[in-house]
Copies of this chain bind each other. A is one copy, B any other.
C-alpha cells in the first residue's frame, strides 16, 4: 500500500542544491500508514589528502571547505605549525582530492603519524599523549580567558539553532568557535572530527589567534577531541554531551576547562572551573 500521491507531492521539491545531501527514495512507515516518498540523507564523501605530492589519508567528509579540512588535519597531526610553512593548498571537488604543499619536511610528524594510525583503532581514538602531542599542546594553564555561565548557555542555544544540515538529515556533528559573546565560525560535518578540523584549518590559514576563544561541539568529549582542541591552543571546550574519564584527566593536567551537559540553564564543569563566572 504505497502512497503515490505523497510521492508525487514531494517530487516538486526535488531541486536540491545542497551538495551535502542526497535525495533517496524511501518507504516511510507511520503506524498503519505506509508510503513511498523521497527523503534526503547526508552525503558521505571521500576526500584524499596529499602532502607535498604524497598520498597521506582518505577521510569521509561532507563535500565543503575541503581546503580548510586538509590544512586543519595536517596541523592537528603536527605536519605544520606555522602559517609561513603553508605554501599552497588546492581542493579538487571533481577528483575528491586536496593537495597541500608545505616547506616542512615534517619528519617527526610523519613517523608518529604512521605509528599513531597503525596502533590506534580506526574510529577508536588515540590512547596516548605522544611526542607530537606534547610538542604541540600549548600551556593552557596560563590562558586567562573567562566567561559567564549564562553566555555558555546562550552560545550553545545559538549553535543548536544553526544546525541546518542536522535538521535536514539527522546525520551530522557540529562545531563552533566562539569568543565571549558570539559564534565566529560554525561548521557541520558527517565526520566526528572534521567539523573541528575545518575550523582549525580556517583559523590556521587566516592566522586567527585562538587563545581567547572557546570551542563548542555537539559530540561527546573523548580524549581524542580534547587533545585536538588543546593543540589548537583553545582553553575551554563545551559540549551538550558527556566527557570520558580520560578526557577529564587530561583536561585537569593540561589546564583545560571542560564544560559538559549544557542543556537549558544547566551545565557541569569537569575541570578548571575557575574560568567560568557567575
Q: Which residues of A contact B (CB under 8 A)?
A: 1, 22, 24, 26-31, 34, 39, 41-46, 55, 57-61, 73, 114, 116-128, 149, 169-171, 190-194, 220, 222-224, 241-248, 261, 265-270, 273, 276, 278
**Contact yes or no, A242 B169, CB < 8 A:** yes
**Beta-carbon nearest neighbor of A96 in chain B:** B127
Residues on the B chain within 8 Å of A39, using CB: 268
Partner of A265, one of B30, B73, B149, B248: B30
Across the A-B interface, the 10 shortest Cβ-Cβ residue pairs: A46-B127, A44-B244, A171-B242, A22-B245, A44-B246, A59-B121, A170-B242, A27-B269, A31-B265, A59-B124
Known: A44-B244, A171-B243, A222-B44. A61 touches B29 (CB 8 A): no
**Beta-carbon nearest neighbor of A126 in chain B:** B122
**Contact yes or no, B34 A222, CB < 8 A:** no
**Contact yes or no, A248 B41, CB < 8 A:** yes
A121 and B149 alpha carbons, distance in the complex (Å): 35
A50 to chain B, nearest CB (A): 12
Give 13 A-B pairs besides A1-B278, A41-B244, A58-B121 with Cβ atoms closer than 8 angstroms.
Answer: A28-B269, A41-B243, A42-B245, A46-B127, A57-B119, A58-B128, A114-B118, A122-B126, A122-B224, A124-B191, A124-B192, A170-B241, A170-B242
**Contact yes or no, A121 B41, CB < 8 A:** no
